[in-house]
Structure 1
Amino acid sequence: MDWLERTAKLRQWSRSGTRAPHKPLLLLYALGRFQEDADGALRYSAVEQDLQRLLAEYGPPNRTTPAYPFHHLVSDGVWEVRTDRGPGSPGSGVRDLRETGATGRLSQDLRAALRREPALLGRIARLLLDLHFPPSLHSELCEAAGLELEPAETEGLSTTRRQRDRGMRERVLTAYEYRCAFCGYDGRIGVVPVGLEAAHVRWWAFGGPDDVENGLCLCSLHHKLFDKGVLGVGWGSPRSSEAESGGGHRILVSQRFIGHSPAAREHVTALAGRPLVGPQPGTRPVAAAHRDWHTSQVFHGEPRPATAA
């Protein structure tokens, strides 16, 4: 059976280019949970909120329910549902799924195929991402779904496998009150934050923990520049007004970064020496050990001198 072909042909409602990524999102989430527990089943009432958040952030703008894909994905041969009464989905109604104790999991044949060929999981996931979402969303969507997709160049490395904590993003964004620690950006669509991400200071691949002391809430642009070594976090003696906000942490901008446009100056070079927008009172700021790791292992060259206010 060609599982990639079956994945590419998921039955979806469509009209005039309208997006309907309900089934792909459920399948990505199920693949992530399979990585954690290959024998586990997903009780609808226990995962409904997770699935609803995925739909709210990555689905269409109209209100929808995860009950729809939970029921209808069965018809594609990649998913199965059982209730307290036995095999089979009770329908696509939220109440039906809740009251019957409905649980879902990848189909038996697909689970067997993934056990025989572990690399198949990554190929299915990447196909779903490529078919239904722009590349700019792939990394954060994998994190939100709990998926671990190893880069091709690291396949031969022998490392101890750890499980990411899917709750880190929410904890970090809450700690920083949904504001970018570098520029203060705090955009939302309705109640859903857009363009805000939880950045690891010490990279997870190099032992960085999934906790707030190793995290920064950053906008998408500054997260990318932070991971590229254009931006960093330094330490300086804060004035009293700064101690409350950034706790003495200041933004580093690499001298190697070149940008002549007004946008590059405003969004990057002008940040040099500014205090961080720190976490809310009572929350510990970035730990010195993680900050120092990023400075020595990621940040490029020497920092620019502070820019005049």
Structure 2
Amino acid sequence: MDWLERTAKLRQWSRNGTRAPHKPLLLLYALGRFQEDADGALRYSTVEEDLHRLLAEYGPPRKTTPAYPFHHLVSDGVWEVHTDRGPGSPGSGVRDLREAGAAGRLAPDLRAALRREPPLLGRIARLLLDLHFPPSLHGELCESVGLELEPTESERLSTVRRQRDRQMRERVLTAYEYRCAFCGYDGRIGAVPVGLEAAHVRWWAFGGPDDVENGLCLCSLHHKLFDKGVLGVGWGSPRSSEAESGGGHRILVSQRFVGHSPAAREHVTALAGRPLVGPQPGVRPVAAAHRDWHTSQVFHGEPRPVTAATPLQS
């Protein structure tokens, strides 16, 4: 049985690029627990809080429940559920799972395969990460689910048909003249830029292309906050000259973000409503379709109202 192919084909609710990472998150969590206890089961009432936290932090902005993947992952052949009454899931309702004493774990054949071939666990985990989350979140997501993976894994996975364009980073950083589009940071050591990254607006895992219209040059801090939905990109009412330079785009800051320190105010909340540092003349800014996808699928909650803020100089 090809477990990588089965992992790549997890059935998920999908419509117009909507994120539904419920099953991948549960499977990553189960792999992490398998490393701790290969025979242990995950009682829903015990792990519900952990799964809620994962969905809140790495799932879609809309409200959701961990009961959904706990029940439905069974149909993908990688997960099994037992209750106090015997095998089989009682349903996808939270009350159903709690009252029946539902407990889940990796399917028997998958557990046997992981015992026979220990590197398979890392390959499955990396495939899930690559298919459903941006690289900036991989490390902390592994920590969140208790996964310990090898630092590097260079083998090519046949189930991932799209290959990333290695020139994407250089094209995006050049387009933005090696400055963070949110704060203007442009640090270097000698001639080498440091702390600057090319962020996909529409995530590569969700069909985002490797081109400049889907990219932003961001410092490491703002890249992470952008991928976590703290920061976003909106559209103001630009003058024609602003539109040509990308100045029509404005920075969104989530109302759910809380930070009381001067650093949090300066580097995050004070950005609300500021114009982006646009790309150099002749380069098209972020495409509306990619911007709108990020706003609906990644950005959390409503944006903070614009306060009197000093625009960044571009």
Shift of the 281–25 alpha-carbon distance from structure 1 to 2, 3 Å rule, reads farther
Shift of 1:40: 0.5
Instruction: Report if aligned partners of 2:202, 2:290 keep a CA contact under 8 Å in 1.
Output: yes
Shift of the 274–111 alpha-carbon distance from structure 1 to 2, 3 Å rule, reads same
Instruction: Report if aligned partners of 1:144, 1:166 keep a CA contact under 8 Å in 2.
Output: no
The two structures have a TM-score, normalised by structure 2, of 0.52
Which stretches of structure 1, 4 residues or more, deviate above 3 A after TM superposition?
Answer: 152-220, 222-309
Instruction: Report if aligned partners of 1:146, 1:166 keep a CA contact under 8 Å in 2.
Output: no
1:124-174 deviation digits (Å, cap 9, x = unpaired): 000000000011111111111111111138999999999999999999999
Shift of 1:221: 2.6
Shift of the 162–273 alpha-carbon distance from structure 1 to 2, 3 Å rule, reads same
CA distance in 2, matches of 1:203, 1:229: 12
- Residue in 1 aligned with 2:186? 186
Bigger mean CA offset, 96-105 vs 142-151: 142-151
Instruction: Report if aligned partners of 2:250, 2:274 keep a CA contact under 8 Å in 1.
Output: yes
Shift of 1:66: 0.2
Shift of the 19–191 alpha-carbon distance from structure 1 to 2, 3 Å rule, reads farther
Bigger mean CA offset, 22-31 vs 255-264: 255-264
Shift of the 302–19 alpha-carbon distance from structure 1 to 2, 3 Å rule, reads closer
The two structures have a TM-score, normalised by structure 1, of 0.53
Matched length: 309
Instruction: Report if aligned partners of 1:216, 1:286 keep a CA contact under 8 Å in 2.
Output: yes
Bigger mean CA offset, 89-98 vs 143-152: 143-152
- Residue in 2 aligned with 1:262? 262
Shift of the 30–218 alpha-carbon distance from structure 1 to 2, 3 Å rule, reads farther
CA distance in 2, matches of 1:299, 1:63: 13
State the superposition RMSD in angstroms. 17.4
CA distance in 2, matches of 1:135, 1:51: 21
Instruction: Report if aligned partners of 2:81, 2:103 keep a CA contact under 8 Å in 1.
Output: yes
Shift of the 184–124 alpha-carbon distance from structure 1 to 2, 3 Å rule, reads same
1:231-277 deviation digits (Å, cap 9, x = unpaired): 99999999999999999999999999999999999989999999999
1:21-51 deviation digits (Å, cap 9, x = unpaired): 0000000000000001101000000000000
**Matched residue SS, 1:151:** coil
Bigger mean CA offset, 210-219 vs 285-294: 285-294
**Matched residue SS, 2:153:** helix
Shift of the 273–101 alpha-carbon distance from structure 1 to 2, 3 Å rule, reads closer
Shift of the 119–276 alpha-carbon distance from structure 1 to 2, 3 Å rule, reads same
Indicate the percent of aligned positions where both proteins have the same amino acid. 92
Instruction: Report if aligned partners of 1:146, 1:164 keep a CA contact under 8 Å in 2.
Output: no
Shift of the 84–135 alpha-carbon distance from structure 1 to 2, 3 Å rule, reads same
CA distance in 2, matches of 1:157, 1:127: 8
Shift of the 155–236 alpha-carbon distance from structure 1 to 2, 3 Å rule, reads farther
CA distance in 1, matches of 2:72, 2:177: 37
